[in-house]
C-alpha cells in the first residue's frame, strides 16, 4: 500500500490517506488507452497504470496532499500536472510526481485531474474527487438539567478539539455577552441560587475563525417531596391481603413524577416490583396471608433526581377463622346435565373467602340471643344437647342474610358457591367425576338405590373424603344451601352470565345449591340448580357464608 496523506490546515497535519496500487496483480484504477502510440509510456510493452489517489473529503482551508502514481518508464515522461479545480486550467506541473499540497477556499465537489505527458507530446490522465465542506467545531456542554437552588454544578465542554480550538467564550447568565474567556476547555463551576430557568452557552472558535455555539438550560427547583401518606400505613396490622399501595409526592419542576416500588417479605432481599410508574399507586394483587411486608417508594422527577419514602411495614391479616381463601380465576360454570345448567360458560370470579362448614345450630342460636332477632322460619334456638355442630335448618333466605350481616359476611353468589365446590376443573361431584357405588361414604345423601343414608342432618364436617378441592365440607348433601342469587332457568343462556356472576337483577325464587340429606344421584351434583320461594322453611335447607377479599375482618364466632 502506498501512502497518500491528507494534511489539514497550513500545518499540513495528516487526516486520512491511502491508496492501493496493485499493478503486479492487475488491480489498477486507470490504464493508458493508446498503447500503440510509439511515444506512449509503456512498461515491458504493456499498458501502464495511472492512479490519482482515492477520493478525499475535508473542510475549507484544510490542506490536502495529492499524490498521483505512474507505473512505467519514467524516462519517457515529459512532466506531470494537476488540475485541482477541474476547470481545465493546470494548477501545478513538474517532473516529480511527489505529493502536491492544495487547499480549497470554497465549499463544493471538485474533480481533480492528474496528467502524465510523454516526451513526444502524448498525454493520459485520471481523476479523483475532493468534497469540501464548511465544518465548524462540533460538540456540546451537556443536556438540560434540573438543579437544587444553591447547589454547585460543573459544566464540562465536550468539544472535538484536534488542536485547532483557540478560544472558549462562556456566557454564564444568558445575556449574550461572554463573562469568561479561556484558551482551554476546562470545567466551569456554577451555582444558581434563584428559582427558575438559567441559560449557559459556550462559543468555540478555531484557528480558521469558524465558530460554534452550544447551549444548555439549568432549571433551579427543589427536589421532589418525600413520598407521604403511604397506605397501608407504617406498622399496619390486619391489612387486607389484596393491596393497592398508594402514596403522594409533588414536584415544582414541571413535568410528571415517576415512581419505583420495592416490596418484599420482611426477611427477604429487597425486590423491585414496579419501575417508572406514572401514577402514585401500585396494585400488588393478593399477597400472602399473615406475612409482614416491607415496602418503599422512590419518586423521580424529569431530571432523574430521586427522593425515597424510607421503609414502611405492614402485616397482612390471616384467613378468617373457619374460612378458606379462594383465588380469583376465570372458571367454567354450568354443565350439560340439565337445561337450566347449560350451556357451560367461562366466568371470572374475584378472590373471596368461603366458610368451610355450613352454619351450625349453635352459631345461629348465638345470633338470635345476641340480637333479639325473630326468625321467620321454624328454628328458634332450641335443639338437643350434642347437636351444636349440626347445620341449622328451617331458616328462610332472609334469616340467612340477617345472620351473615351480623357476622360481617354475606351469602355466596351462585357462581362462588359452584367454584368453591368443583374448582377450575369441570367436576360433577366435589370428589371428582366418579360415580361411586356407595355415596353414603362421601356425603350425607341418599344411597345408590334412593334410600337416605341417615334420614336427617348430621354433624358438619363428618365426611372428609367428600370435601371439595378448596377444603370446603358438605357441599353435597346434609342441607341444601341458600345463595344470594335470584333464580332464572334461562340465565346461563344470557351473555351477562359470563360477565355478571351475581345473577339476575330480579326474580321470585332464590337459588339453592348442593342438595340435602334426601338428595339422590345428580340432585347432589355441584352443578345442580334448585330454587325455592325465599320464605320457604324446610328441615332440608340451611346456608353458609362468604366474604369478599377486600371486606373488613368478620366478627369472631360466638364462644
Neighbouring C-alpha atoms within 13 Å toward the C-beta of 143: 5
For residue 361, which of 458, 427, 502, 289 has the smallest C-alpha distance? Answer: 458
Predicted pLDDT at 434:
86
Please, where are the H alpha helices in 343-483? 361-371, 397-406, 414-422
In tens, the pLDDT along 215-253 reads 999 999 999 999 999 999 999 998 999 999 999 999 988
Distance CA 484, CA 413 (A): 5
* Residue that is written with C-alpha cell 373488613 in the block: 552
What's the CATH number of domain 139-220, 2.60.40.10, 3.20.20.70, 2.40.30.10, 3.40.50.1100?
2.60.40.10
Q: 133 vs 255, which has greater pLDDT?
A: 255
Q: What is the mean pLDDT of residues 322-331?
A: 95
pLDDT value of residue 34: 37
* Right CATH for 7-133 from 2.60.40.10, 3.40.50.2000, 3.40.50.720, 1.10.10.10: 2.60.40.10
| 549 pLDDT above the threshold of 90 | yes
Q: Specify the pLDDT at position 124.
A: 78
**CA–CA gap between residue 411 and residue 409 (Å, rounded):** 7
- The yes-or-no answer to whether 139-220 and 324-548 have a common fold is no
Region 479-494: what's the mean pLDDT?
A: 96
In 415-440, which positions are buried (b, 16+ CB within 10 angstroms) versus exposed (e)?
Answer: bbbbbbbbbeebbbbbbeeeeeeebb
Whole-number Å distance between alpha carbons of 544 and 320: 14
What is the residue-averaged pLDDT of the chain? Answer: 86
Confidence check: pLDDT of 47 > 80: no
Return the pLDDT at 299.
Answer: 97
294 Cβ partners below 8 Å, 6+ apart? 263, 264, 265, 266, 311, 312, 313
Model pLDDT, residue 10? 29
pTM of the model: 0.68
pLDDT at 14: 27
Residue 134 is predicted with a pLDDT of 73
Looking at 2.40.260.10, 2.40.420.20, 2.60.40.10, 1.20.120.80, the CATH number of the domain 228-316 comes to 2.60.40.10
CA nearest neighbour of 297 among 283, 284, 280: 280
Closest CA to 164 of 1, 41, 10, 330: 10
For range 448-456, the mean pLDDT: 94
Q: Which long-range contacts (CB under 8 A, 24 or more apart) does 27-35 make?
A: 29/126, 30/124, 30/126, 32/124, 33/124, 34/122, 34/124
Report the share of the chain in percent with pLDDT over 70. Answer: 90
Q: What does the pLDDT read at residue 162?
A: 65
Q: Is 212 helix (H, G, I), strand (E, B) or coil?
A: strand
Q: Across residues 171-195, what is the average pLDDT?
A: 90
pLDDT(97) > 80: no
The CATH fold assigned to 324-548 is 3.90.1580
Going from N- to C-terminal start, the domains of the chain cover 7-133, 139-220, 228-316, 324-548
Q: Nearest Cα to 314, choosing from 298, 296, 300, 294?
A: 294
Distance from C-alpha of 191 to C-alpha of 172, rounded to nearest angstrom? 10
| Burial (0-12, 13-18, 19+ Cβ within 10 Å), 3 | exposed
Containing H/E element for 497?
helix 496-499
Amino acid at each position: 500500500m502506498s501512502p497518500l496523506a491528507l494534511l489539514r490546515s497550513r500545518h499540513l497535519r495528516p487526516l486520512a490517506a491511502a491508496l492501493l496500487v496493485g499493478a503486479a496483480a492487475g488491480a489498477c484504477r486507470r490504464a493508458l488507452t493508446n498503447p500503440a502510440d510509439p511515444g506512449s509510456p509503456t512498461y515491458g510493452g504493456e499498458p501502464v497504470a495511472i492512479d490519482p489517489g482515492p477520493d478525499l473529503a475535508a473542510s475549507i482551508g484544510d490542506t490536502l496532499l495529492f499524490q498521483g502514481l505512474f507505473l512505467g518508464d519514467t524516462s519517457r515522461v515529459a512532466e506531470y500536472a494537476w488540475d485541482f479545480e477541474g476547470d481545465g486550467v493546470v494548477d501545478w506541473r513538474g517532473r516529480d510526481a511527489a505529493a502536491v499540497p492544495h487547499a480549497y477556499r470554497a465549499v463544493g465537489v471538485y474533480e481533480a485531474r492528474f496528467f502524465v505527458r510523454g516526451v513526444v507530446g502524448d498525454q493520459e490522465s485520471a481523476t479523483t474527487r475532493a468534497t469540501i465542506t464548511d465544518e465548524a467545531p462540533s460538540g456540546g456542554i451537556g443536556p438540560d438539567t434540573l438543579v437544587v437552588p444553591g447547589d454547585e454544578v460543573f459544566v464540562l465542554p465536550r468539544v472535538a478539539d484536534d488542536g485547532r480550538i483557540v478560544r472558549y467564550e462562556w456566557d454564564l447568565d444568558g445575556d449574550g455577552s461572554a463573562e469568561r474567556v479561556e484558551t482551554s476547555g476546562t470545567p466551569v463551576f456554577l451555582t444558581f441560587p434563584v428559582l427558575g430557568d438559567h441559560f449557559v452557552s459556550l462559543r468555540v472558535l478555531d484557528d480558521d475563525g469558524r465558530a460554534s455555539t452550544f447551549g444548555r438550560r439549568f432549571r433551579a427547583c427543589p427536589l421532589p417531596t418525600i413520598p407521604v401518606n403511604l397506605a397501608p400505613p407504617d406498622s399496619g396490622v390486619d391489612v387486607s391481603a389484596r393491596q393497592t399501595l398508594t402514596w403522594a409526592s409533588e414536584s415544582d419542576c414541571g413535568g410528571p413524577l415517576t415512581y419505583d416500588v420495592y416490596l418484599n417479605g420482611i426477611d427477604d432481599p429487597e425486590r423491585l416490583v414496579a419501575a417508572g410508574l406514572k401514577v402514585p399507586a401500585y396494585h400488588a394483587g393478593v399477597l400472602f396471608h399473615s406475612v409482614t411486608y416491607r415496602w418503599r417508594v422512590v419518586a423521580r422527577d424529569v431530571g432523574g433526581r430521586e427522593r425515597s419514602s424510607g421503609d414502611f411495614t405492614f402485616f397482612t391479616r390471616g384467613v378468617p377463622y373457619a374460612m378458606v381463601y379462594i383465588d380469583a380465576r376465570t372458571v367454567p360454570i354450568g354443565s350439560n346435565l340439565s337445561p337450566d345448567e347449560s350451556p357451560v360458560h367461562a366466568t371470572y370470579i374475584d378472590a373471596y373467602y368461603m366458610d368451610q362448614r355450613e352454619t351450625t345450630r349453635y352459631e345461629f342460636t348465638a345470633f338470635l340471643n345476641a340480637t333479639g332477632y325473630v326468625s321467620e322460619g321454624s328454628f328458634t334456638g332450641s335443639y338437643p344437647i350434642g347437636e351444636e355442630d349440626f347445620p341449622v335448618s328451617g331458616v328462610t333466605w332472609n334469616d340467612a342474610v340477617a345472620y351473615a350481616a351480623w357476622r360481617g359476611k354475606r351469602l355466596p353468589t351462585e357462581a362462588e358457591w359452584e367454584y368453591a365446590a368443583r374448582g377450575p376443573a369441570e367436576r360433577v361431584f366435589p370428589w371428582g367425576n366418579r360415580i361411586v357405588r356407595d355415596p353414603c361414604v362421601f356425603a350425607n345423601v341418599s344411597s345408590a338405590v334412593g334410600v337416605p343414608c341417615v334420614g336427617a342432618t348430621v354433624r358438619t364436617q363428618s365426611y372428609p373424603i367428600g370435601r371439595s378441592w378448596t377444603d370446603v365440607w358438605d357441599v353435597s348433601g346434609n342441607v341444601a344451601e341458600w345463595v344470594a342469587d335470584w333464580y332464572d332457568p334461562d340465565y346461563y343462556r344470557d351473555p351477562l352470565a359470563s360477565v355478571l356472576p351475581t345473577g339476575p337483577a330480579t326474580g321470585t325464587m332464590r337459588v339453592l345449591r348442593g342438595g340435602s340429606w334426601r338428595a339422590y344421584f345428580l340432585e347432589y351434583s355441584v352443578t345442580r340448580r334448585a330454587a325455592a320461594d325465599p320464605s320457604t322453611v324446610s328441615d332440608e335447607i340451611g346456608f353458609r357464608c362468604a366474604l369478599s377479599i377486600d371486606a373488613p375482618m368478620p366478627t369472631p364466632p360466638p364462644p
